[in-house]
Chain A
Amino acid sequence: MTITMLPIRIDRELATLVPRFLDNCRRDAGVLEKACAQFDLDTIRKIGHSLKGVGGGYGFAEITSIGATIEAAAKAGDTEAALTVVIAFKAFLKAVQVEYV
């Protein structure tokens, strides 16, 4: 998966919510990493499903895409694939620069 490291334009209406959302994503990334190490497929699937459902609503289509890939990997029982995406997710969260418009 290719992560585009570009500033992301987000609706100003969401300015009060986005910092908390990204903080929670960082926390989720940590939980996912541990879950991959412990082969906890249920946790991986649930967090992947949640990210898939919510990312795009906040304006982060990449997070929806990441969540979908994580969920699919968990359903396939492939924690290695999930971990690869989780690492990319962490890199994305480090690189993302929000611009409110």
Chain B
Amino acid sequence: MRVAILEDDPAQIDLVTLWLNNSGFNCHVFTYGKEFTRALTRESFDIFLLDWELPDITGADVLQWIRQNVRDATPVIFTTARDREEDIAAMLKAGADDYIVKPLRKMELLARIHAVMRRSRNEKPADDVFEIGEFRVNVESRTVHRHGQQVELTQKGFDLAVFLFRNLSRLLSRGHILENVWGRSSNLNTRTVDTHVSRLRSKLGLVPEHGWRLVAIYQHGYRLEQIHKDEQNDSVNTGIPTPATTT
């Protein structure tokens, strides 16, 4: 799971990244609000952890920017030492999915992240075996069947298919895909993603004639969409956040 952390306190960054990395998360840390919103115009994440007090803009400004500019409902958890009831209520009303008062506690933080992820659309379908359209995917046996016929996929092709199916209709950045399928330590170029996506589109028939659209978004990434016949001629909405203009 890819986490974007907006936090300017080095001690807090050390602590949270240690906990999350040890629990299998991939952490991306930003210390400035504007740096964070710029990154969101080209990258996608599974969850955001926002601090309130930042060197340039406030976490509240960033939350507002996210809700106005990031089309998919990526969950936001506020983590701040501000414990006033009015602050907590204001951020939840402004669109935060949860609010944790610092100091953070490891088990609570992890449990809350998993809880908001469960409530969001990002963990669906999480079952080992799931059906989506004409596809039946078995994560345990690493097989994909289309109309009952097994489709031969490479290991990475299978991982990519599962990641795209599990994130149906979400715009996923190339970095996000690369990290999820090939791992954080991979030195591969994002062009690798383009090559594998192209192959997967062809192997699984992810084309409008079959009710699918695997859309390439220039300088950003891909989005897998399931379309109905009457939608096949619709124009493509990119869903890319607009450039960072946060005040």
Could you list which residues of chain A lie within 8 angstroms of chain B, going by C-beta atoms? Answer: 11, 13-14, 16-17, 20-21, 24, 46, 49-50, 52-58, 64
Contact = CB atoms under 8 A, between A and B. Distances in A.
A24 B81 CA distance: 19
Contact of B11 (A16, A24, A46, A49): A24
A54 to B, nearest CB: 5
Contact of B9 (A11, A14, A50, A64): A50
B11 A58 contact: yes
Contacts of B9: 50, 53-54
A53 B18 contact: no
Given A13-B22, A14-B18, A57-B103, A52 B11 contact: no
| Interface of A: prevailing SS | helix
Interface string B1-25: 0000000011110110011001000
A57 B80 contact: no
A58 B15 contact: yes
Interface of B: 9-12, 14-15, 18-19, 22, 53, 80-81, 102-106
Given A52-B81, A53-B103, A14 B15 contact: yes
Contact of A57 (B10, B15, B22, B53): B15
A56 B103 contact: yes
Contacts of A53: 9, 12, 80-81, 102-103
Contact of B103 (A14, A16, A46, A55): A55
A52 B18 contact: no
B2 to A, nearest CB: 22
Nearest to B12: A54
A76 to B, nearest CB: 16
Contacts of A50: 9, 11-12, 81
B24 to A, nearest CB: 14
B81 A49 contact: yes
Given A53-B12, A53-B102, 19 more contacts: A13-B18, A13-B22, A14-B15, A16-B18, A17-B15, A17-B18, A24-B11, A50-B9, A53-B80, A53-B81, A54-B11, A54-B12, A55-B103, A56-B104, A57-B12, A57-B102, A58-B11, A58-B15, A58-B103
Contacts of B11: 17, 21, 24, 50, 54, 58
